[in-house]
Amino acid sequence: MYGYKESGDLAPGKQGGKFGLNSGAFVTKFEYNANAGKDGAAGDAIDFTVQVGEREYRNRLFPVSKVYKDNNEITDTASEEYKVAFVKEMELFSAYVSDIVKCFVPAEDLKTALATPIVSFKDYAQIVTGLVQRSPNWNKKPVDVFLQYQYTPSGDNDRTYLELPKNVKHGAFIVPTEGAVTEVKTDSSLTYVKEDGTNHSFKRGQWYLESAFANVINLTAPTATINTPTTGATW
């Protein structure tokens, strides 16, 4: 239930993103949704869409309601383990949303807007989405976005496709466009160097590059293809 929505329009022939840094993308939706439950039922969320080329990549951000350790849900809400895990998930969620908002609004303005006590996810969502929507021409401001592969095939799919990251555990995924870059990829890192010689905000380490996030999984290959890089433009 937490935050994943199909990663774009998969109609043949549309040119979209590639794994890693995609420049010149646009955020086309960032809005509070009061009917984000199943089949349009009541339920709070933030709908987030990025346009890369002709494709859209979408995520639906739900309130933090469950926490896990070693892939097992922690159900004792009074336990110290739960409290620590909950704080961590809240921090990750807040960082994810903050990175989106800061593409359009100064960080100090965001901090000021969130300084007033917030009593509900609805209030929080309306504050952050309102900041973006009140920024002039926000949906025409280019951003750099990092796309990754789904960790496992979803639904009836027999392969993984590109998606927006669900969290910022592995690094930033969206920033205001930082200009032309040169990709530098080794066995242990992925970085991007700007024309002035400084590094772009996006970087990934060895664990990530060896994981399914960085490599397509294809279950229909003669032997299931795992850790074989492809671009998202060949769907």
Q: Please list the rounded mean pLDDT of every run of 10 residues in the chain (235 residues).
A: 50 76 98 96 98 97 94 95 96 97 98 95 98 98 98 95 97 98 97 98 98 96 52 32
pLDDT at res. 223: 59
φ and ψ of 64, to 5 deg: -70, 120
pLDDT value for 221:
76
Q: What is the pLDDT of residue 105?
A: 98
pLDDT at 8: 53
Amino acid identity, position 161: Y
β-pairing, 199-205 vs 189-194, is: antiparallel
Say how far apart CA 6 and CA 163 lie, in whole Å. 8
pTM: 0.87
User: Looking at residue 94, what is its pLDDT?
Assistant: 97
What pLDDT is stored for residue 46 in this prediction?
A: 98
* C-alpha–C-alpha distance, residues 136 and 106, integer Å: 13
Long-range CB pairs of 105-113, under 8 A, 24+ apart, other chains included: 105/131, 105/132, 105/135
Cβ(225)–Cβ(212) below 8 Å: no
CB atoms near residue 94 (< 10 Å): 15
